[in-house]
Homo-oligomer: A and B are copies of this chain.
């Protein structure tokens, strides 16, 4: 849903300043192939000659989450950029407990089902998160 350019658009549209730190963090998220922590981001930028204070990164990530430009991967404790084409408010992962391999996906049917169950409890769900924890295809063959 959000690549670098459309994320920039969201920021602009909602009246947030297009600052250099925000663009740099957005770049790192967009390029990352797996979840990155605030300090991961700092390191990556360090290597590119950019020095961002960690407090700034925390604040930027908080904002991005608020705007749904990014979100936390729960079991990793890190932040990822939402992948293209995912459903709104639907953030699902499969994580390999052995090698850490991670895939993000979205599934409308799951959300509908979850919404229904929530309704029975009086809840109204706005964001869906889920993580399947297990073994990826590579790791299933091996013996541990």
**Chain A residues within 8 Å of B, Cβ to Cβ:** 72, 74-75, 94, 96-97, 103, 105, 107, 109-110, 113-115, 117-118, 121-137, 140
Closest Cβ neighbor of A126 among chain B residues: B134
State whether A124 touches B128 (Cβ < 8 A): no
Give the copy number: 2
| Residues on B with beta carbons closer than 8 Å to the beta carbon of A118 | 94, 132, 134
State whether A128 touches B130 (Cβ < 8 A): yes
Closest Cβ neighbor of A136 among chain B residues: B123
Query: What separation, in Å, do the CA atoms of A72 and B75 have in the docked complex?
Result: 9
| Residues on B with beta carbons closer than 8 Å to the beta carbon of A97 | 126
Given A74-B129, A131-B74, A135-B126: A94 and B110 interface contact (C-beta under 8 Å): no
Query: What separation, in Å, do the CA atoms of A118 and B135 have in the docked complex?
Result: 10
